[in-house]
């Protein structure tokens, strides 16, 4: 894992991943770059990790420091050996996913699929609506649902009539980054709702807008001064058939898929070496 700079949220994410990976019996190592490090230094580190045969998976935590430039993340992700790309962001792995030959797939959408499969939610023939079209969540999510024979609609910030489209979904995936954006009027009764969003509320007015008086979330906010909320409003629970919680839903599955991808990468590399 590569961590550049001292973003507090990134520190937490990386610490969690290192703990979980370590507990699983894999070896996890953290490589730190200073917040003032250049893009060339980040690329040089990636090249060193690519060349190290003892390393099966490379994760570069985003965001990278602003000083590295606007296209730094793309350049760094592109530099990772596709065989070690356990985030599944490399264009080679994205291409394989589109061609339904997935090898290493983005961890968050992979976790959403795992969650749907383990809960016995049928995807075949169902209408799935994905709100969000990012490269790391929305687009790969749509592709994975398509490959499980769902009929998929992708929505985004320019979609006209979003609530009406969402209401036609048997499976609704919210990956937007807006607290409580998906309200009960977006939901077909009985639909399955996957909430990918992780938003930290720090303003009392926002907490009171989303959570009812006497709710546990209000109590958490009163105690800590912050509270986590997804992209899905709690009022959705009354209409949906199933809703993933935030926290404790897609987040832990994402970390689990980092592990799965690391094992997949190790196996693929071992098979390739054996064939040489």
H-run or E-run covering 262? helix 250-275
Residues ≥6 apart with Cβ < 8 Å to 180: 209, 210, 229, 230, 231, 232, 233, 234
DSSP per-residue codes, 118-184:
HTT---TT-EEEEE---TTTHHHHHHHHHHTT-EEEEE-TT-TTHHHHHTT-SEEEE-S--TT-B-G
Q: Which is nearer to ligand NAP, 150 or 250 (CB)?
A: 250
Give the chain's largest Cα–Cα span.
Answer: 64
Torsion of CA 262, 264, 266, 268, to 10 degrees: -150
- Residue 149: active-site member: no
| Minimum distance from residue 251 beta carbon to ligand NAP (Å) | 4
Residue recorded with tokens 């990976």: 21
Residues ≥6 apart with Cβ < 8 Å to 117: none
Active-site residue (options: 81, 87, 170, 231):
87
Binding mask 30-69 for ligand NAP (x = CB under 6 A): ----------------------------------------
Q: Does 138 contact ligand NAP by CB under 6 A? A: yes
Out of 196, 210, 258, 265, name the contact with ligand NAP by CB under 6 A.
196
| Minimum distance from residue 257 beta carbon to ligand NAP (Å) | 9
| Minimum distance from residue 179 beta carbon to ligand NAP (Å) | 8
Q: Which is nearer to ligand NAP, 63 or 91 (CB)?
A: 63
Q: Does 15 contact ligand NAP by CB under 6 A? A: no
- Residue 188: active-site member: no
Q: Does 197 contact ligand NAP by CB under 6 A? A: yes
| Minimum distance from residue 256 beta carbon to ligand NAP (Å) | 10
| Minimum distance from residue 228 beta carbon to ligand NAP (Å) | 10
256 CB-contact burial (10 Å; exposed 0-12 / middle 13-18 / buried 19+)? middle
- Residue 61: active-site member: yes
Q: Does 177 contact ligand NAP by CB under 6 A? A: yes
Q: What six digits make up the tokens of 20? A: 């979980």
CB-nearest residue to ligand NAP? 134
Q: Does 134 contact ligand NAP by CB under 6 A? A: yes
Q: Which residues pair with 13 in a beta bridge?
A: none
Residues making contact with ligand NAP (CB under 6 A): 108, 131-134, 136-138, 155-159, 162, 175-178, 196-199, 250-251, 254
| Catalytic residue annotation | 17, 61, 87
């Amino acid at each position: 894992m590569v961590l550049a700079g001292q973003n507090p949220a990134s520190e937490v994410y990386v610490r969690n991943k290192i703990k979980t990976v370590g507990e699983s019996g894999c070896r996890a190592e953290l490589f730190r770059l200073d917040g003032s490090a250049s893009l060339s230094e980040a690329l040089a580190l990636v090249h060193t990790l690519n060349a190290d045969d003892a390393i099966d998976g490379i994760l570069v935590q985003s965001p990278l420091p602003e000083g590295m430039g606007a296209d730094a993340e793309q350049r760094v992700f592109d530099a990772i050996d596709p065989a070690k790309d356990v985030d599944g962001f490399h264009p080679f792995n994205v291409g394989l996913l589109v061609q339904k030959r997935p090898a290493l797939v983005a961890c968050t959408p992979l976790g959403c699929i795992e969650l749907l499969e383990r809960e016995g939610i049928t995807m075949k023939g169902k209408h799935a609506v994905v709100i969000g079209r990012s490269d790391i969540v929305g687009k790969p999510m749509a592709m994975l649902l398509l490959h499980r024979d769902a009929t998929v609609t992708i929505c985004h910030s320019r979609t006209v009539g979003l609530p009406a489209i969402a209401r036609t979904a048997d499976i609704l995936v919210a990956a937007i980054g807006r607290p409580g954006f998906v309200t009960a009027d977006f939901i077909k009764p009985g639909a399955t709702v996957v909430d990918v969003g992780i938003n930290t509320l720090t303003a009392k007015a926002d907490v009171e807008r989303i959570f009812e008086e006497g709710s546990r979330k209000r109590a958490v906010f009163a105690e800590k001064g912050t509270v986590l909320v997804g992209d899905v409003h709690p009022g959705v629970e009354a209409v949906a058939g199933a809703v993933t919680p935030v926290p404790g839903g897609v987040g832990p599955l994402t970390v689990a898929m980092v592990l799965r991808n690391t094992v997949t990468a190790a196996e693929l590399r071992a098979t390739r070496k054996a064939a040489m």
